[in-house]
Amino acid sequence: MVANGGRGLYLGLILVWAGPFVLLLWSLAYQFIIGLPISNTIIPIAISTLYLWIVDTLALKRGTWVIVSGTKLGWHLWDGLEIEEAFFFLATNVLIVFGLVAFDDAFAILQSFPSLFPTLPTLPSPLLLIKALLVSTRSYDEDRIEGLKQALTRLQAKSRSFYLASGVFQGRLRIDLVLLYSFCRVADDLVDESESLEEARQWISNLNHYLDLTYGKPSAKKHGSVNEFVQSTFPVSSQAALLMLPTTNLSPTPLYDLVKGFETDLHFSSRNSTFPITDEATLSTYGAQVAGTVAESCLELVYHHSTAINPEAQRRRIVNAGGRMGIALQYVNIARDVAVDAANGRVYIPATWLEQEGLSPENVIEDATSLQVEKLRQRLLDRAMKIYDETKEAIEKLPIEARAPMRVAVESYVEIGRVLRTPGYKVKASRATVPKLRRLYVAWKALRLK
């Protein structure tokens, strides 16, 4: 068509221009392209192509441009649209979408398999991207892929706020944060969903022993490897969360303190124990154990993956502020779940606060919707917002690549507290929820802050 010139020249040139690159992209990423839903491939191509076909038809009819009659076939897709023009726009959009998909595929391979690519530049070169696409699928760590899928599914199901926020973190930091959340969620569920107090205590003991083995405590080495212990002790559904926790990038103290927080929850189930949240100090300690520790671990991961250089003293101040922010978010969580916790026999409102309102923990369990309880919910939210106001500036001192994502994570959860503080707001289905559009607006606004 090209060599002979004439009526097929224009279409032939388009084929010569687009064909090799479409074939190359397909050869490198066809499995990923096929595996994606049509909303990521066919629909974007179809919508953009149809739009360009319509605009081009109008342009050709108005004489904005014309195709030399001796180089076209004379066929029309519809009246006014030459087949060559239609094919050109279709090929262009296929190239764009396939190119983006291939880039995403390569980038995902680079980020997901540190065993294949131990170190990565901030901006991978084209050669490195092609190298990633050329890796045989037989080299993929299938257990890691399954573990990542489980972690994302767990995050999406358990926390809409943090699932939204996770999407704005990047690269291996995002992966490690998702894996950290997955571990915390699994550990909490193992204890919370136990059928007896003895079973819950056993899970806490197992979690502590898992940490002992992971961090190489001498007393734990005689019990075998981490893998052997996890596979023989924990449910199959939770094993990946434990085995994939990025412990090499995390210090042990926050994780041990997290398990101590689970121990506090057991006091609610013990017949011989009083309600453990006796005053605001014990509430703060509990918040630090179950949420402040997670925040500190998140910041450890941020600094591990960052190339920014911060003085150790400044880094420690920021991590401490993050721990306090975690307490604030836990207060929001407690305020949201007053009725849910009461239904499970748990009251996290300090006993001293209850006494000031003439209440006892048993009164809250009997009626978690009374005016007095609502007053204490607002008091708890006031404490949360005070800590939030005192610590939010620390976010702006984080490495630049983590500031906006961390803002989204914090603001998305704090928005639950703002909803609860709305005058006249009634908690529905025992929990406060933030409408999806409002969550998206909060995330967008957090990303735009400087």
* Mean pLDDT taken over the chain: 91
Higher confidence at residue 64 or residue 234? 234
DSSP 48-82: HHHHHHHHHHHHHHHTSS---GGGS---EEETTEE
Of 47-56, 62-71, 99-108, 141-150, least confident by mean pLDDT is: 62-71
- At 395, the amino acid letter reads I
- Per the rule left: phi > 0, alpha: psi between -120 and 50, beta: everything else, 224 is left
pLDDT, residue 132, reads: 95
Per 3-state DSSP, the chain is made up of helix, strand and coil in percentages (nearest 5) of 75, 0, 25
- 16: part of which helix (H) or strand (E)? helix 9-35
409-435: pLDDT as tens digits: 999 999 999 999 988 777 765 566 788
Question: Rounded to an integer, what distance in angstroms lies between the CA atom of residue 378 and that of residue 421?
Answer: 7
Portion of the chain with pLDDT greater than 70, in percent: 95
Mean pLDDT of the region 201-205 = 95
Residues 109-127 have a mean pLDDT of 92
CA-based nearest residue to 280, from 334, 235, 205: 334
Query: What's the pLDDT score for residue 448?
Result: 83
pLDDT of residue 207: 96
3-state secondary structure of 244: coil
Instruction: Give the 3-state secondary structure of residue 428.
Output: strand
Average pLDDT of 331-356? 94
| The pLDDT of residue 429 | 58
5-35 pLDDT tens trace: 667 788 888 899 999 999 999 999 999 999 9
Query: Which residues lie across from 431 on neighbouring strands?
Result: 428
For residues 100 and 157, give the distance between their C-alpha atoms in angstroms, rounded to a whole number: 28
DSSP code, position 220: G
Express each pLDDT in 350-400 by its tens digit: 999 999 999 999 999 999 989 999 999 999 999 999 999 999 999 999 999
Cα 66 off chain centre by: 50
pLDDT per position as a tens digit, 56-102: 999 888 877 776 676 777 788 888 888 888 999 999 999 999 999 99
| pLDDT at site 57 | 92
